[in-house]
Copies of this chain bind each other. A is one copy, B any other.
Amino acid sequence: MGRDIAEALGLLLKRSTRVGLHRRLTDGAGEGVDELTYPVLSGLARTGPRSAADLAHEVGLDRSGVTRRASTLEAAGLVRRDPDPTDRRATLLTLTDEGERVVAALRERLADHITDSLRSWPPDEAAAFAAQLRRFVAEGPFG
């Protein structure tokens, strides 16, 4: 059983799988959005306004990497930099309205894509799988 999951994970974490998925997801999403900036965009949508240091942990990157990607998104008008009112050292990264729109569209596209790939599954089985996958990722042999 562990073997089956290990094999599936191997395929999932394969470079070409990951890059291809992110590329298809962000393809044509507009200026500044690619497989590198998407996690920052998505992370901000998930957590709300955040400092680069906080977001670095959320996204699994160094803060310098977050700064770089955030600058790309800022140039594209999807992210805004606001001073943190509680700490003058910090800068809060915030999604612009356009950023919110783009993220919502991308998330919907991905969710639809996944739902579509499960269309041949019995609905209750698909729902059970979704719940189990969440649990596995949360509890599993990761981070």
Contact = CB atoms under 8 A, between A and B. Distances in A.
Interface string A1-45: 111111111111111111011101000000000000001001000
Given A1-B126, A21-B142, A143-B20, A12 B110 contact: no
Nearest to A129: B132
Determine the main DSSP class of A at the interface with B: helix
A41 to B, nearest CB: 11
A34 to B, nearest CB: 14
Number of copies: 2
A118 interface: yes
Contacts of A60: 14-17
Given A13-B13, A113-B141, A134 B8 contact: yes
Given A133-B5, A133-B133, A137-B11, A17 B143 contact: yes
Interface residues of A, number: 55
Nearest to A130: B4
Contacts of A115: 1-2
Interface of A: 1-18, 20-22, 24, 39, 42, 59-61, 107, 110-118, 120, 125-134, 136-137, 139-143
